[in-house]
Structure 1
C-alpha cells in the first residue's frame, strides 16, 4: 500500500563487515550476525543462471495499486515516481540476495571495514564503478547522496532510516567513512543500502536544484537500467545498459537479463486482468483469492499459453490489517478499538469469499520467530519488567491477545453474536451507548467510521464487516478514491481506518522506528500510519535496533509484538503461504530451483530471462538520448 520507496527501505538488509576480538577486518561482505555464506571471489549466487542469455523484453504491471506517475524523482514526498525505479536504476554500496536475509555483498563498495568499537564503517568504492553519464562513482557522490536524502527536501522516511548515522566523511577519492551515534550491528547494513546518485543530478549551470524541485530531471545513477520510452503517467520502459559497469561482478552475474522491462499502469483491476489475457503484458501477481479462483480462467489457460502457478517461499508473512488513526479522539480508548475488531468475522470471510485460501494474521511479525505466544517468557520479562509501571498488568498476567474466532473454528465456542455482545459491553465501558438510533458518546456525537480504498477490491470485505458494526449502532461509510488521492490523504493522516500491507522481513530492525516510533508519528508522509506514540514501544524499539545477536533480536521483537497486540491498534487481516503468479508460457525461462526468500516481481525481473534470445541488444547511448517521451505532462 505504501509507496515503493518505503518497501525498498524495508527490504534493504545488506551485508556487514566482520570484526573479531577488537580488530577491524576488511571484507567483501558483512553479516549482521556473522554468517556469510559466499567466500571472497565467489562466482555467482546459487539461485541464478550465470550463463542466462541477455535480450528480449518483459511487460508487466506494478504489484501495488499505483494508478499513475508524475515525476522521475523517487526520493521526495510529493507525487508518485515510476514503479521499480529504485531497483532498476540505483546501485547501492552493498547488495543483498535471496538466500541470506541479514547478509550482503559488495556492489559499489569493493571493500567494507567495520571499526572495532562498531561506531563506524568505512567503504572503498569500486574503481570501475561508473554513472550512466560516464563519470566515476566517487566518495564525494556517496556523501552527496547521503546529505541530500537526510535533508528536509527528501521524504521523511530517509531521515528516520538514517537517523543513527552521525556523519559521512570523505577520506579519499574512493574512500568514505560513516560514523554512528551508538554501536549497532545493523547500521553498516543501513548505510550499505544507501541509493547513490551523481552530484550532477539536478545541476543547472553552477546551481544545484533543491531535491524537492527535481521533478522531471532524469536521475544520473549507476544501475543496470536506464529510462527508455515513456508514456508519461501511463507506462515506462527501462532499457538495459550494455555498458553497465557491474555486469560481470559476482553479485550481479546472471541477473538483469532482459533488454527491456516495461511497466504498464491500469486504473481498473478488471481491465488489467482482461488486458493480461488479451496479451497486452506478460506477467502479473494476484492478491485476490476469488479472482485467482474464478477469473484466471479461459482458453489461454486451457491451451497452456498462460501459466497459473502458486510458488512456495520461506518469507516471513506479510502483515496486513485495518489500521486505526490514533490521532482521532474516537480511537484513543483501547476498548473502542478492541470492540470494532470483534465485529469482523474472519472465518465467514475466509469460507465465503476467500475459498479458505488464507490464515489469520495474529501479530505484527507474521509466521516468524518474532511472533509472541502465550505469556511472556524469561527473555521477554527481562525487557518488560523495567517497564512494568507503564504497562497494563494484562501484559504480564494474560496470554497475548489473539484475533477473535467464531464457532466454526475448531478451538472456539463463540459465535459472532457473542463477540458483538462483548463489543457492546466494551463500548459501554468506554462511554459509548446506543440511543436515538446510533451509538453515541457522552456529548451525543455518533460513532462514524470511514473506510478508504483505491481499488474497490476491499468492498466485499468491508460490506459484511459494516453490517456487523451497524448492529452496534456504528455508522459506516466505504469510499473508493484514486490511489494518488488516497496516498495524499495518508501522507497528511486524513483518514479514519485504512487497509495497509507491510512486506514481511526475516530480520526487522531500524525500519520499525519509522513504523512505530513516536518521533515519526506527526511527520507527514512517515510510515507511522497509526500515529502511535508510546514510550514503552520506543524503549522496545531501542532494544530491537541495538540487538547484537539473533536471540536478543528475537526477545525484543516478541516483547514488542506482545505490547502492540495488547494495544489493539489494528484489525488484523490474513496472509497466504504462496505467491500466486501467472505468466506467458512461451516467453520466458528460469532456473529450476527457487531461492528461499523472495518477492515474485524481483525474482522475475532479475533472475528470469527471455526465450527469444535472438533479440538485438539495445544501445542506450547517453542519458540524454535514452529518454524518449511519447507523451509529456502530468
Structure 2
C-alpha cells in the first residue's frame, strides 16, 4: 500500500479508460501511450494534507501533533521584548515598518500563516495539513488543485470565510503585493475558479515544475474581501487598522512604538480541530518595544518582560547573574536547534561596481576574523557555517563523484572546471589571538592586485585611475552591542588593508528602507538554509527578480544557479532532488556573495518561572508562542513573593 493511502489519502478515478485493440503492434503501442497519459491526468488524489511525494506522517484521523501537550492549560500572559520601532500593522508593503507578529491573526487553507512556510507541523519537513480547508484534491500531474473549505470557518467579526475571500486574497497579493512575488506567481498560476462558496480551484501553468505550487496557494493568508471593499484599504500602504482575521488571536491594543497586545479569541471557530490541540495556549501575548537590546534586557530583569530568547552570546555567558536568576525565579535553558543554520553574515551587494569582481569580494572577506570574534566577543559559543545545508545529507562535501558528478556534468559549460575538480568553498581560517592576520592580509592584497587594485604610496588601495576602493557598511542601530563590535572590528581590519570603509549606523526605520532600496555595499543579512527544492528558490536565488527581490539581498544573478534550480524543480524522486540540492549548495558557495558570521547551535532562552513546554521540542521549531503554556500556580507564586507585579 502506498504511504499516502496508508495515511488517509484516497485515490479516485473519475473516468474509465477504454482502449481499442488494433492489429498492428505500432498502433497498439501508440494506444497504450495515450491510455497511460490519460490515466495520469484522470487519477485524482484526495487528502487531508499535502506533501509533494505524497508521504504524510499524520493520518486523516489524527488527534493532535505528537510533540504538543493536548492537555496544556489555556490562560496567562507572556510578554516579549522587541528592539526597534514600528509604524504599521501591515507587513505586506514596502513602505513603513510593521510590528512583530502582525500576521498572527490570519490563517490559510493549509496551516496558519504564523507557522507557515513548511513549519507546520514542526516535527516533519515539507508536510502541510488542512486548516481552513478540510481536504484538497488534485490530479497525479498536479496541473490543478481544488480545496474544500470548512463551512464553519469565520472571521473574528463573525462573517464566514469563503472561497470568495481566498480568491480575493490571492489576487490582492498579485495586484498590490511585492513585485518580485507577484511577477513570479502570475506566471505559475494563470487562473482561479470559485466553484461554490466553500470550494476553490487553482490552475497551474503548462510546461512548468509542479514544485511548491500547491503549497503556494495553500499558505496564502486569507483576508476579508468585505472589509477591504468597505474600507478601501490597500495592501501596499502602511496602516495601523487591520482587517479581521480568522485565527485564534485578535489585536487587543496598539500603542505605536511602545506596545502591541494580542488576545486569544474565545469565540475562535477552530478550537476543536486536531491541528489546534495543545496549541495557542496563552490568553495574552504582549510585545514591548524598546530602542535597543540593552533596554530590552533591563526590562526582562525587572519583570516587565517575562520571556527572552537571548541573541547575544556575551550576555548569555556573562549577564545572567542578577538576583532573580540567583533566587531561581528565572529559568535558563539551552535547547538544541534541530534545523541547519541559515546562511547569515555580511552580504555583498553584487550590484555595486566595486564588488562585481569575485576576487575583490574574496579579499574583503579575509578581513573578517571569525576565530578572533568567536573567542573575544562570542565566548566561543558560536560555530561557523560551511554550507547552505550545514550538517545535513544535502551538504556538498569533497570533490563531486557518482550521481553528484553526473548531474554537474549534465550542465555542460555552465559549470566552472574548479567546481568539478575541487572541494566546495569553506570559510578561511584566522588566528584566534590576533584580530589582524598578516597572512590573510597578504593574500587579500594579492587578490586585490589581480583585480586591478594596488596599494598606493599613501597606503590607500586604488585602481589604475587613482580612485580609492570605498565601501559602505550599513548597520541597524537597534542591533546588539556584540553585533556592533564584530562589525566595527571587521571595518577596522578593512581600513588596515588600505580600504576606505565607512561604517554607517542608522535607526531601524531608515535601515529597513535603505535595505529594501539596496542602498549599501555591505549589510548584515542572509539566506535560509537549503532543506529541499521549491519555487521559493527562484525568488531567493533566481536571476529574473535579482535586481529588486527583497528575498535576495545580494542581488545574486547566475545562469548556473538558474539552471540548477530549474533542474531541481523538475526532479522526479527524492534521490534526484537531493543530488540537485547538493549541486545548488556547491554552486552557491562557489558564487561567494556573503561572509558567514557564525551561529548558535542552541536556542538560548530565559523566562520567569511560570512557563512550561513539552519535554521534547520538535526539530523545526522552538514553538514558544505555539505550544508552550503558562502555569497559573507558578505565576501566582511569583506575584505573591513580590518578584513580579
CA distance in 1, matches of 2:392, 2:311: 21
Contact 1:17-1:188 at 8 Å conserved across structures? no
Of stretches 540-549 and 185-194 in structure 1, the one that deviates more from structure 2 is 540-549
Contact 1:327-1:531 at 8 Å conserved across structures? yes
Contact 2:346-2:524 at 8 Å conserved across structures? yes
| 1:355-381 deviation digits (Å, cap 9, x = unpaired) | 111111112233332221111233333
Q: Which residue of 2 aligns with 1:248?
A: 272
Answering whether residue 448 of structure 2 is matched by residue 422 of structure 1, we say no
Contact 2:88-2:239 at 8 Å conserved across structures? yes
Q: Secondary structure at the match of 1:81?
A: coil
Of stretches 556-565 and 121-130 in structure 1, the one that deviates more from structure 2 is 556-565
| Bigger RCO (CA 8 Å, 6+ sep) | 1
CA distance in 1, matches of 2:587, 2:216: 26
CA offset at residue 404 of structure 1? 0.7
Of 541, 559, 566, the residue aligned with 1:542 is 566
CA offset at residue 406 of structure 1? 2.9
Matches within 5 A, 1:534-573: 534-573=558-597
Change (3 A) 1:489 1:277: same
Change (3 A) 1:447 1:506: same
Contact 2:388-2:529 at 8 Å conserved across structures? no
CA offset at residue 309 of structure 1? 0.9
Q: Secondary structure at the match of 1:254?
A: coil
Matches within 5 A, 1:149-548: 149-154=173-178, 156-157=180-181, 159-160=183-184, 164-181=188-205, 182-204=208-230, 208-213=232-237, 215-406=239-430, 416-435=437-456, 436-454=458-476, 455=479, 457=481, 458-504=483-529, 506-523=531-548, 526-548=550-572
CA offset at residue 264 of structure 1? 0.9
CA distance in 2, matches of 1:48, 1:431: 59
Change (3 A) 1:505 1:52: farther
CA distance in 1, matches of 2:77, 2:327: 23
Q: Secondary structure at the match of 1:58?
A: strand
Q: Secondary structure at the match of 2:314?
A: helix
CA distance in 1, matches of 2:52, 2:391: 21
Q: Secondary structure at the match of 1:144?
A: helix
CA offset at residue 255 of structure 1? 0.8
Q: Which residue of 2 aligns with 1:44?
A: 64
CA distance in 2, matches of 1:214, 1:108: 27
| 1:149-201 deviation digits (Å, cap 9, x = unpaired) | 12244464455467522222112221111111234242212211111111023
Q: Which residue of 1 aligns with 2:19?
A: none
Contact 2:79-2:287 at 8 Å conserved across structures? yes
Q: Secondary structure at the match of 2:494?
A: helix
Q: Secondary structure at the match of 1:566?
A: helix
Contact 1:44-1:50 at 8 Å conserved across structures? yes
Answering whether residue 126 of structure 2 is matched by residue 102 of structure 1, we say yes
CA offset at residue 203 of structure 1? 2.5
Contact 2:530-2:581 at 8 Å conserved across structures? no
TM-score (norm 1): 0.88
Contact 1:342-1:419 at 8 Å conserved across structures? yes
TM-score (norm 2): 0.86
Contact 1:448-1:474 at 8 Å conserved across structures? yes
Q: Secondary structure at the match of 2:617?
A: coil
CA distance in 2, matches of 1:401, 1:142: 44
CA distance in 2, matches of 1:502, 1:160: 19
CA distance in 2, matches of 1:160, 1:284: 37
Any gaps of 5 or more consecutive residues in structure 1? 1-14, 410-414, 616-634
Of 48, 53, 78, the residue aligned with 2:95 is 78
CA distance in 2, matches of 1:262, 1:390: 51
CA distance in 2, matches of 1:233, 1:511: 32
Q: Which residue of 2 aligns with 1:8?
A: none
RMSD after superposition: 2.4
Change (3 A) 1:240 1:456: closer
CA distance in 1, matches of 2:163, 2:136: 13
CA distance in 2, matches of 1:419, 1:74: 42
Q: How many residues align?
A: 586
CA offset at residue 382 of structure 1? 3.4
CA distance in 1, matches of 2:391, 2:174: 33
| 1:25-58 deviation digits (Å, cap 9, x = unpaired) | 2111112233211111211111112122211111
Of 55, 60, 63, the residue aligned with 1:35 is 55
Answering whether residue 115 of structure 2 is matched by residue 90 of structure 1, we say no
Of stretches 424-433 and 286-295 in structure 1, the one that deviates more from structure 2 is 286-295
Contact 2:78-2:282 at 8 Å conserved across structures? yes
CA offset at residue 430 of structure 1? 0.3
Matches within 5 A, 1:573-592: 573-585=597-609, 587-592=610-615
| 1:313-349 deviation digits (Å, cap 9, x = unpaired) | 3112122111100111100001101111122221121
| 1:183-236 deviation digits (Å, cap 9, x = unpaired) | 42422122111111110232337xx44432462332122011111021123210
CA distance in 2, matches of 1:299, 1:576: 26
Any gaps of 5 or more consecutive residues in structure 2? 1-6, 13-38, 112-119, 636-645
Q: Which residue of 1 aligns with 2:624?
A: 604
